[in-house]
Structure 1
Amino acid sequence: MPSDTSSSPRPPAPSGARPGYRELLRNREFAGLFASFALTAAASALSGFALGSLVDRQTGSPFLTAVSMYGATFATVLGALTLMSVADGSRPRRTLLALQGASLAGIAAQAVPGLPLAARFALLLALGFFQSLGTGTRMGLLAEIVPASAYAPARSLMNITAGAVSVLGYASGALLVRAIGPHGLFAAAAALTALSLAAVAATLRERSIRLARRPGLRSTWAGNAELLGRPGRRALLLNLWVPNGLVVGCEALFIPYAAQYAGHLLAAASAGLLLGDLAVGRLLTAGGRRRAAFPLRLLMAAPFLVFALHPPLPVAAVAVFLAGAGFAATLPMQEQLLALTPEAVRGQVQGAESAGRMTWQGIGAALAGAAAQAVGPAAAITALAAASLAVTVLSRRHVLRETARTPVSAAG
Structure 2
Amino acid sequence: MSTTGYRAVLAVPEFRFVFAAHALSTLGTVVCELALAVLVYRRTSSPLLSALTFALGLLPYVLGGTVLSAVADRFPARRVLVACDLVCAGLAAGLLLPWMPVAALLALRCVLAAIAPVFAGTRAATLGDVLASGELFSLGNSLLRVTNQTAQLTGFAAGGVLLAAISPGAVLGVTVLTFLVSALLLAVGTPARPARSVGGGALLTASWGGARVLFADRRIRAVFALAWVPPMFVVVSEGLLTAYVARLGASPAALGLLLCGMPIGAIGGSLLAGTLLDHRARVRLCLPIVLAATLPPLGYLTHPGVAVALLCQIGVGSGIVYTFGVDAWFLDVVPEHLRGRAMTLLTAGSMTAQGLGMTLAGAAAEFAPVHLVVAGGGAIAFPVVALVVGYASRVVSVAAA
Q: TM-score range by the shorter chain?
A: over 0.9
Partner Cα separation in structure 1 for residue 60 and residue 282 of structure 2:
31
Partner Cα separation in structure 1 for residue 93 and residue 270 of structure 2:
32
| Structure 1 residue 182 corresponds to structure 2 residue 168 | yes
Partner Cα separation in structure 2 for residue 361 and residue 351 of structure 1:
15
- Which of 21, 24, 27 is the matching residue for 2:6? 21
Partner Cα separation in structure 1 for residue 363 and residue 54 of structure 2:
14
| Structure 1 residue 402 corresponds to structure 2 residue 400 | no
Partner Cα separation in structure 2 for residue 256 and residue 21 of structure 1:
38
| Structure 1 residue 300 corresponds to structure 2 residue 280 | no
Of 279-288 and 16-25, more deviation after overlay is shown by 16-25
TM superposition shift of 1:44: 1.4
Aligned to 1:227: 214
Aligned to 2:156: 170
Aligned to 1:242: 229
Deviation string 1:167-211 (CA, Å, 9 cap, x unpaired) is 110000000112222111110121112111111112011101111
| C-alpha distance 232-146 of structure 1, shift in aligned 2 (>3 A) | closer
TM superposition shift of 1:335: 1.7
Report the identity percentage: 30
| Structure 1 residue 363 corresponds to structure 2 residue 363 | no
Question: Could you tell me whether the CA contact under 8 Å between 1:96 and 1:138 is conserved in 2?
Answer: yes
Aligned to 2:119: 134
Aligned to 2:60: 75
Aligned to 2:180: 194
Partner Cα separation in structure 2 for residue 233 and residue 387 of structure 1:
25
Deviation string 1:333-390 (CA, Å, 9 cap, x unpaired) is 1221121011111111111101100001100110110010010211111111222212
Partner Cα separation in structure 1 for residue 213 and residue 277 of structure 2:
31
TM superposition shift of 1:25: 2.3
Of 354-363 and 306-315, more deviation after overlay is shown by 306-315
- Which of 152, 156, 159 is the matching residue for 2:138? 152
1:311-326 to structure 2, matched below 5 A, reads: 311-326=304-319
TM superposition shift of 1:19: 5.8
| C-alpha distance 249-33 of structure 1, shift in aligned 2 (>3 A) | same
TM-score (norm 1): 0.91
Greater than 6 Å deviation, 4+ residue runs: none
Letter aligned with residue 348 of structure 1: R
Aligned to 2:239: 252
Partner Cα separation in structure 1 for residue 57 and residue 309 of structure 2:
27
TM superposition shift of 1:99: 0.6
Partner Cα separation in structure 1 for residue 21 and residue 256 of structure 2:
24
Partner Cα separation in structure 2 for residue 386 and residue 380 of structure 1:
10
Number of equivalenced pairs: 393
Of 276-285 and 148-157, more deviation after overlay is shown by 276-285
Aligned to 1:54: 39
Of 309-318 and 99-108, more deviation after overlay is shown by 309-318
- Which of 318, 326, 347 is the matching residue for 1:354? 347
**Secondary structure, aligned partner of 1:74:** coil
| Structure 1 residue 216 corresponds to structure 2 residue 203 | yes
Letter aligned with residue 307 of structure 1: Y
Deviation string 1:93-117 (CA, Å, 9 cap, x unpaired) is 1111111011111111112112011
| Structure 1 residue 204 corresponds to structure 2 residue 197 | no
Aligned to 1:283: 276
Partner Cα separation in structure 1 for residue 399 and residue 50 of structure 2:
44
Letter aligned with residue 31 of structure 1: R
1:96-107 to structure 2, matched below 5 A, reads: 96-107=81-92
**Secondary structure, aligned partner of 1:73:** coil
Question: Could you tell me whether the CA contact under 8 Å between 2:2 and 2:275 is conserved in 1?
Answer: no
| C-alpha distance 69-389 of structure 1, shift in aligned 2 (>3 A) | same
Letter aligned with residue 139 of structure 1: A
Letter aligned with residue 166 of structure 1: Q
Question: Could you tell me whether the CA contact under 8 Å between 1:233 and 1:402 is conserved in 2?
Answer: no
| C-alpha distance 176-227 of structure 1, shift in aligned 2 (>3 A) | same
1:262-273 to structure 2, matched below 5 A, reads: 262-273=255-266
TM-score (norm 2): 0.94
TM superposition shift of 1:330: 1.9
**Secondary structure, aligned partner of 1:374:** coil
TM superposition shift of 1:34: 0.9
Partner Cα separation in structure 1 for residue 296 and residue 262 of structure 2:
11
Question: Could you tell me whether the CA contact under 8 Å between 1:242 and 1:388 is conserved in 2?
Answer: no
Question: Could you tell me whether the CA contact under 8 Å between 1:236 and 1:402 is conserved in 2?
Answer: no
Letter aligned with residue 228 of structure 2: W
TM superposition shift of 1:90: 0.4
Question: Could you tell me whether the CA contact under 8 Å between 1:18 and 1:153 is conserved in 2?
Answer: no
Question: Could you tell me whether the CA contact under 8 Å between 1:153 and 1:282 is conserved in 2?
Answer: no
